[in-house]
Every structure is written in structure tokens, then in C-alpha cells.
Chain A
Amino acid sequence: MNRSRLFLIIAIAVAAIGFTIIAASGINKNLVYYWTPSDLHKAGDKAYGATIRLGGQVLPGSVHHQSGSALDFDVTDKHQTVHVKSTGIPPQMFREGIGVVVEGTMTREGFFQSERLMVSHNNEYRSPKDGQAVDAKKLIESTKGVDVK
């Protein structure tokens, strides 16, 4: 093996390592976590500022319309409950008792600031009949592949 070839291989190796480090840190900073209210409680401080898709059931009796299209409601998985504030216009099917996925982050004030409210993305997940329990894991899985704004 001559010197220029060796040099080329070393250069490519260094470039590859550098690229991998950049890519890895880029991925690490931009992860979107798929959590239930219980997962979110377990995560503790990690939840603040992280991008989270929170899945669960809209607690019946918890929906309050604020001014404009702003909306307050609780999301529950029967073990834990998270208070959610949402600003966008809710989708057609949104109502109490339905399974939802909200995307946003946990604030230090103790509520979940939602930037996006999804009822269900695809055919595979069927929301339960009103009042029936929600399979939160399945629900969040149904939104995989939906764009993260």
C-alpha cells in the first residue's frame, strides 16, 4: 500500500467519524418521546423542554374552552393525569372521553403546552367507544410517521 492511499483511507476514516459524531448529537437533540401520562411522571425533570407525544384519554368533564380557539383539558391513562393547554383549533372528532395524542412539552408551571392536537392518524388505530378505556401505547403508535412541526 503506497502512502497516498494510506493517507486517503485515514482521511476518509476521520471524516466518517466526524460525520457520525455530528449526526449522533443531532439525533440526540431532536428526539421525540412517545409517552403516556405515567411515563411523563416517571421522567421527572427530563420532561421539561423535551419534545413529547403524550397519548391518553380526554378526562370527561375536564374540557374548558378559553378565548379564541384555546382549550384546556386533562389527559389521563387511569393512573396519572396531565393538564394540557392547547391553542390550535381542535380537530372535528375532538370531544370528552376520546383518545388523543398531544405534541408539545411539559412546562415548569405544571401543565403540558400542546402545539398540536391529534385525534387519530390512521386506520389501524380505532378510538374506543365513548367512555371505554384507551390503550395509550397503541394510540401513540398510530401517530408515528406524522410530521413533527
Chain B
Amino acid sequence: MTATLGNFLILAALLVATAGSMVGFAAGCSGTPEGLKWAQRFAYAFAALMALATIVMEAALLSHDFSVKYVSQVGSRAVPAWVTFVSLWSSLEGSILFWGFILGLYIAGTTWVNRNQHVDYMPYAIGVWLGCAAFFSFLIAGPANPFGSVSPVPLDGPGPNPLLQNHFLMIIHPPFLYLGYVGMTIPFGFASAALLRGRLGLGFLRPLRASLLLPWIFLTVAIMLGGWWAYEVLGWGGYWALDPVENATLLPWLTATAALHSAIVMERRGVLKGWTVTLVQASFLLTILGTFMTRSGVFNSVHSFTQSSIGPTILVFLAVAILFSVITLAMRIESLEAEGKLESAVSREGTFLINNLLFVLLTFTVLIGTVFPLIVEAVNGRQMSVGRPYFDAMVVPIGTALLFLLGVGPALPWGRPRRDEVKRALLFPLIGGIVLAGIGRALGVTNVWTLITLLFGGYAAWVTMAEMWLPLVQRMRRGDSFGTALVQGQLRRGRRRFGSYVVHAGMVVVIIAIAVSSTMRTSHEARLSRGQSAKIGSYDVTFIGAETLAEPHRQSTVAHFRVMSNGKFIANLAPRMNQYQMMREPIGTPDVHSTLTGDLYLSIMNVDVGTQNAGVLMITTPMVAWIWISVILMGLGGLVALISRP
């Protein structure tokens, strides 16, 4: 019954999306207001049907209706209700349905916001969005159908993937990731509409930019949450390994970041129109490539991905989307004529250009390293992967150069600045860089790249701070009180500018924190019996004992440690191993004592409750907490910039 209802809703969504897409394109060609009205109605209808289908699935999950295939795969009466609720995105079929739900929200929301504006672009945009929506409806209706029926109906199910149950970050990371990934469909639709329309006016830049910024914020937060999760759960003390799954989220972020910057040059100077549109399309295509790579099992083996029918289906969609993008670009890019020109290389817009080239270079570097093993295996069947040193060797220099630009770019004036202007703008912030590098050196930083990062980071921090509070300072010089200047200068007018610099500040903190934490960590392994201590840095870690705890859905072995430093009590840490019924191997869960200066990280490798012995991995990492803190900065800064008035 539930399964039939779900299938009906999905098929209706497929029908509505397909029809709406065709209506959208037709309305774009003919330009009739009535056509646009109908395209809008189809967009709302698609969103409503997807939302209903998702509600039906949630109801089935929460009522333990094991006659529904997806519920029988991930449901369990033994797990708490909140785990059941989030099971929607714990496995492939459910997360594709969740994808459809979010896509509906995005399409309907954007259509509503622009219901009376940009009437010459909107029909095409809705056509493109609903085209994508039709594909995902097809995916849900066919290859990844969660609404199959099971007979005989089982009494209970295995429960969702234990990793989901093991840590709260695994619950909030996927929704953010989907909000970022799916949201890239919207700017793709806008960019394609501009190409199909053969015009990209400055008035249309605003919705394009806003639609890119929103998923960018989600993607930024999602990437950081993913790193945090890896740090809290995987037990090796790192947060980013540049593994294929992580790279899949990084790639569209890189191109989207580049596009956000080139859009500013476009707004100021009327150039880089075709380039911006290309970057926006590339961001969307990379989200689809990422979905293909992470969801089809292609990384387990090229030859295993055909076993799931979803892999080839997404690949076909990717091919169609690439073809569509290339054709629209090739046919129409000439029509997006530049209205101005760049005047000088040593100017703000000059650094924007280099910034864009570096982001694209970084994208290629990561893309090649990620896809290379797949190609090799497809060609000669050998399995291999590209090691971390390749990524370090390529990403670190490009990243450092970008940090340099993050400081120099905003310091340079627009247009064609005079030589003395340039000198004055560039010299002062050097104080910030030298001070920070000096502090780093005094605190024991020896790695050259880390010192360079501190130098550039201090420089960028100085520039960012000066630029961020410039409106406030200017107003106070003119005699405004601090309060008025703060509200008028920073929050009421120029919010976009203020928000962007808050994001920049967050980025400076992230890059410094990554450089310091990755080059200055120390680790030590020890095997301890009860009462024994081990030393790492200034910490004395004493093993107090281990115990076994039984919960309905898992069994945990907990090792207790007391941490002292110079005779003073610091913390009690309890890393554990959680054994879930579904998994043979236990999931280790490290415990972290986190401070602003650095973390102490304890992870148990093995533990024997009978003999009270534990093998423990101890890691100290400076500055890690700043990576998570800066996410808040970047997220909030992005939001401030998003809700700005022109």
C-alpha cells in the first residue's frame, strides 16, 4: 500500500518534471507569459510531489513498515527513533529520494522568489531545472527505487549503517552536503538560461550570484563537517586525506569559489561573462561527477560499478549534461559580449584573474589525481591509487599562492592604480605577515612552507581586517558615533562586502590552522596495563582501566585514561570501541581533549578487558580547533553577503 502510493507519487513527479521542462523551453523560445506561468506551476507541482513522497517514506520508516524495500534494508526496531528518522539518508535509495526532495525545494523556492522578475530568462531556467528533476525522478522510479515491496514482510530489519549511528556528525554532514550539491543545479539553470537567451545583463547577475552563494555556503560547511567527522571517528588523528570521496566534494567547491570571484569582476568591469558561465556549469557537472564517483562504487573497482545500475545511469546523465553545456557554450559564448575591458594587470581585477587561473589549476590537479587510477584500471585492469605525496606536492604550492593573493588582491585598488598607490597599499600589511611569522618561529615552527603560510597569512589577515572595517572607520572619521557607524557602515549598507571579508578572515584562519596542525603534530603509541602511564609532549596519560557497556543496539568497550600535565589534572578521556551487530569489526571512537592552542587525541588500537591491557595511539595536534571555529565564520560571513541589498 505504502509502496504503491510512493511509486505513484514518484511517477507523477517524473511526468510533471518532464512536461514542465518541455513547457519551459517552449515558453523560452516563444516568450509567451502564459507559458512561463505554466512552467512555474509545473515547478511547484514537482516540489509538492517530491515532498509528499519523502513524507510517505519517513512515515514508513517511523512506523516500521517493513513491507517497503528501503525500510527493510535500513530499518530496525532496536534503534532509537531519531536514528530511524535520519535513516532516510543512510543508504543509496533513500539519499537519492532525499536529493529529489531538496531539488524540489530549491526549484520551487527560486521560482517563487523570481516569479515576477527576469521573465526572459526564467522559462529557460525552469526548463533546465525540471530537466534535471526529470532525471532524478527517473533514477528514483527505476534504478534506485526505495519504494519496492517486500514479501513476505520481515518482522525486523538490520538498522542503518553503524557509522551513521556512531556519531552525530554523520547525521548532519549529509544534509549539508546534499544542500550544497543539489543547490548547484540552480546556478547551472541560470547560466544555461543566459546562454540560451544569448544575453547576460548585469541585472541578471544578482540572482545568478545569490543562487551560487547559497549552495557554496552549504558545501563549505559540509566539507568542514566531513573533516571533523573523520577526525572524531576514524582514529588516525587527521581530518583530510584527499581521498576520492573527499575530493568529490572539494572539486565543485573550487570551481564555485572561482565563479563567485569572476562574477565580481564581471559586475565591476563587464568582462569575463563567458568564463563565469563556464565555471558555473563546471561546478554543476563536477557535482554530478562526484555523485557518480561516490555513489556507483566505481572506486571499489571500475568493474564493480556496472553491478549497480545507478552508476551507468548517472554516467549517461553526466554525458548528456556535458554535451548540453558544451553545445550551449559553443553556440552562444560569443553573444555574451564584454562591455568593458581590463586596464591594468597590477590591479584588483588583475589579481582576480590570477586567482581564477589558480583555482582552475587546483581543480585540474585534484581531478587528475582522483580520476587517473580509474582510467588505468579501465584500460589495463591494474588497481592502484595516487598517494598523498602527489596531492601535497601539487596542492600546497598552489594553495600558498592563493593565500598570497588573498592578501594582495584586496589591498590593490581597482582600475589603473598609480605606482605609489600600489606601493603604499602593499607595504603596510607586511608588518602583519612578519609579526605572525616571527611569533610562529618563536613558538618553534621550523617547516618552511608553514613559515611562508604564516607570513602570507599574517599579511592577508592585516589586509582583510583593514578592508573589513573600512566603512566603520570612514564613518567615524566623518563624526558618526561608533554605534551608528557600526550599524550603518557594516550591517545596513555594504553587507555583501562585509560578509565577503568575514569569509576571507575564516579562510585565512583555516589555511593557517591546516598548515600548523598538519606539520606540527606528534604521535606516540603505547601499550599500557592498568595504572601505567605514558608521556606525550607535556601530558602524562594514565590508563585507569577498561570496561564493557551493553546498550540495546551496540556493545562498547571503554578505556578510561586520566590526563595530567606538570602535576595538574587536565581531563579524563574515554576512547571506546563500539561493536554493532551488523559489523564484524568494531568502530573505534577516539576521545579528544580540545583547547584553542591544541588537541590531545587518544585512540585505542586494541583493548583487553580481561587482562586490563590497552594499546593506545596518542596524538597532539596544535590549532585543530580553529578549523572548526572558522567554519562558523565562513558560514555566517556567507549568509551576511547573501542577504545583502545591492
Contacts and interface: CB of A to CB of B under 8 A. Distances in A.
Interface of A: 19, 22-23, 26-27, 29-34, 51, 68-69, 88-94, 119-120, 123-124, 126-127, 137, 140-142, 144-149
Contacts of A31: 384-387
A94 B615 CA distance: 13
Given A123-B163, A147-B241, A147-B243, 10 more contacts: A19-B364, A23-B368, A26-B390, A32-B384, A89-B616, A90-B615, A91-B606, A120-B584, A146-B243, A148-B387
Contacts of B387: 30-32, 51, 148
B346 to A, nearest CB: 18
B606 A29 contact: no
Nearest to B246: A145
Interface in B363-395: 364-365, 368-369, 372, 382-390, 393-394
A145 B364 CA distance: 19
Contact of A34 (B241, B383, B386): B383
B245 A89 contact: no
A90 B361 CA distance: 40
Contacts of B161: 123
Contacts of A127: 584-585
Contacts of A22: 394
Contacts of B328: none
Contacts of A30: 386-390, 393
Given A69-B615, A124-B300, A144 B368 contact: no
Nearest to A142: B300
A94 B304 CA distance: 28
A118 B475 CA distance: 61
B383 A140 contact: yes
Interface in B410-456: none
B57 interface: no
Contacts of B368: 23, 27
B244 interface: yes
Contact of B617 (A89, A126, A148): A89
Given A120-B585, A144-B299, A147-B243, A90 B606 contact: yes
A27 B300 contact: no
B316 to A, nearest CB: 24
A88 B383 CA distance: 26
B525 interface: yes
A94 B606 contact: yes
Contact of B606 (A68, A89, A124, A149): A89
Interface of B: 161-163, 236, 238, 241-245, 299-301, 304, 361, 364-365, 368-369, 372, 382-390, 393-394, 525, 527, 577, 582-586, 588, 604-607, 615-617
Contact of A126 (B369, B393, B584): B584
Contacts of A51: 387
Contacts of B163: 123
Given A32-B385, A34-B383, A147-B241, A93 B584 contact: yes
Contacts of A137: 383
A19 B245 CA distance: 24
A29 B390 contact: yes
A23 to B, nearest CB: 5
Contacts of A92: 577, 585-586, 588, 604-607
B244 A89 contact: no
B24 to A, nearest CB: 36
A27 B372 contact: yes
B305 to A, nearest CB: 12
A122 B384 CA distance: 18
Contacts of A141: 300-301, 304, 383
23 contacts: A23-B368, A23-B394, A27-B386, A27-B390, A30-B393, A31-B384, A31-B385, A69-B615, A88-B605, A89-B525, A89-B527, A89-B605, A92-B588, A92-B604, A94-B606, A120-B584, A120-B585, A123-B161, A124-B300, A141-B301, A142-B300, A145-B243, A147-B242
Contact of B365 (A23, A34, A69, A146): A23
A146 B44 CA distance: 42
| 8 tightest Cβ-Cβ pairs between the two chains A and B | A147-B241, A89-B615, A30-B390, A30-B387, A34-B383, A89-B605, A92-B606, A145-B243
With most chain B CB atoms within 10 A of its CB, the pick from A22, A27, A29, A149 is A27
B386 A93 contact: no
A9 B198 CA distance: 25
Nearest to B241: A147
B300 A144 contact: yes
A19 B361 contact: yes
Nearest to B163: A123
Most chain B beta-carbon neighbours within 10 Å: one of A23, A119, A146: A23
Contacts of A19: 361, 364
A105 to B, nearest CB: 12
A145 B582 CA distance: 22
Contacts of A146: 241, 243
Contacts of B385: 31-32, 34, 144-145, 148
B73 to A, nearest CB: 13
A27 B371 CA distance: 11
A145 B245 CA distance: 7
A149 to B, nearest CB: 7
B605 A91 contact: yes
A58 to B, nearest CB: 15
B299 A145 contact: yes
Contact of A26 (B300, B382, B393, B607): B393
Contacts of B300: 124, 141-142, 144
A87 B382 CA distance: 29
B577 A123 contact: no
A69 B527 contact: yes
A123 B162 contact: yes
Contacts of B582: 123
A69 B528 CA distance: 11
Contacts of B586: 92-93
Contacts of A91: 585, 605-606
A10 B545 CA distance: 68
Nearest to B361: A19
B605 A90 contact: yes
Contacts of B527: 68-69, 89
A33 B384 contact: yes
Contacts of B388: 30, 147-149
A84 B384 CA distance: 20
